[in-house]
């Protein structure tokens, strides 16, 4: 299952600098969709990441972009709640 992780542009850029070049996580970060927030909200990227790749992204964030960890964890929890609600 794929997860959607919302990241601020600077977090995405920072993570791109630290994930392996030929990993699925890098491809997910590179292919993220930019959402323009407008005047009232900041811009963000939606990263669609395979569930199996999330631990790699989280470990990278723990070391290189700690503020993103909370958003990664939120995406994981949202996915669990969604699956629980559908069962």
Q: What is the pLDDT of residues 23-67, one digit of tens each?
A: 999 999 999 999 987 666 678 999 999 999 999 999 999 999 999
Q: 9-16 vs 54-64: helix axis angle to the nearest 10?
A: 100
Q: What is the pLDDT of residues 9-34, one digit of tens each?
A: 999 999 999 998 889 999 999 999 99
Cα dihedral 25→29→30→35 (10° resolution): 160
pTM, entire model: 0.85
Q: Could you state, in order of their start, the residue ranges of all structural domains in the chain?
A: 2-86
């Amino acid at each position: 299952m794929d997860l959607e992780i919302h990241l601020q542009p600077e977090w995405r850029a920072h993570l791109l600098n630290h994930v392996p070049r030929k990993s699925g996580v890098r491809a997910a970060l590179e292919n993220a969709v930019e959402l323009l927030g407008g005047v009232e909200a900041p811009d963000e990227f939606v990263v669609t990441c395979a569930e199996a790749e999330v631990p790699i992204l989280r470990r990278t964030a723990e070391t290189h972009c700690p503020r993103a960890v909370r958003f990664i964890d939120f995406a994981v929890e949202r996915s669990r709640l969604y699956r629980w609600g559908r069962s």
